[in-house]
Amino acid sequence: PPDVQKLGVASWTFLHTMAAKYPREPTQTQKEDMSEFLKLFSHVYPCNWCAMDFEKYITKYSPRVESKEELSRWMCEAHNHVNVKLGKPKFNCDFWQQRWKDGWEE
Ligand code: FAD
């Protein structure tokens, strides 16, 4: 059976890294692409109930695509929403850059 945990860790690594590499000052096209990508991602994510919840989250809290900082914080909050749902501790979003850009040892 598909491994929802492994898929999750890999996907969050991808999503947070993508946000950390997003431009500080994105063009209009880059902003539109990112909004569209996250919407499509929520349609194709290969864990049905995860995807449905993520889609609802995106509809309620539109991805903040104005800058690297905004997108990275938005992603952190979206991840925290799942953490809380699963009974995991919240991550302090002030540390997004250390964790996902500069890097630290788990
Ligand atoms: P993960 O939660 O995968 O986190 C990986 C690493 O990210 C952590 O070790 C930590 O260093 C860092 N981190 C943790 N929180 C944050 C944060 N807020 N911001 C930045 N970095 C952080 N699983 C389900 O069982 N049900 C679901 O409905 C579900 N929905 C999901 C929806 C999406 C879009 C994704 C990508 C995953 C979903 N998952 C779901 C999987 C779940 O979120 C975890 O990935 C999985 O449970 C493994 O958790 P983990 O504790 O190993 O670390």
The domain ranges of the chain are 9-103
Does the beta carbon of 76 lie inside 6 Å of ligand 1? yes
Does the beta carbon of 77 lie inside 6 Å of ligand 1? no
pTM: 0.96
- Residue closest by Cα to atom 13 of ligand 1: 91
Q: Identify the CATH number of the domain defined by range 9-103.
A: 1.20.120.310
pLDDT digits (tens, 9 = 90+) for 42-88: 999 999 999 999 999 999 999 999 999 999 999 999 999 999 999 99
Pocket test for ligand 1, best of 38, 79, 83 (most atoms within 8 A of CB): 79
The DSSP line for 14-72 is: HHHHHHHTS-SS--HHHHHHHHHHHHHHHHH-SSHHHHHHHHHHHHHS----SSHHHHH
Q: Is it the case that residue 104 has pLDDT exceeding 80?
A: no
Q: What is the pLDDT of residue 99?
A: 87
Q: How far is the CA of 104 from the centre of ligand 1 (A)?
A: 17
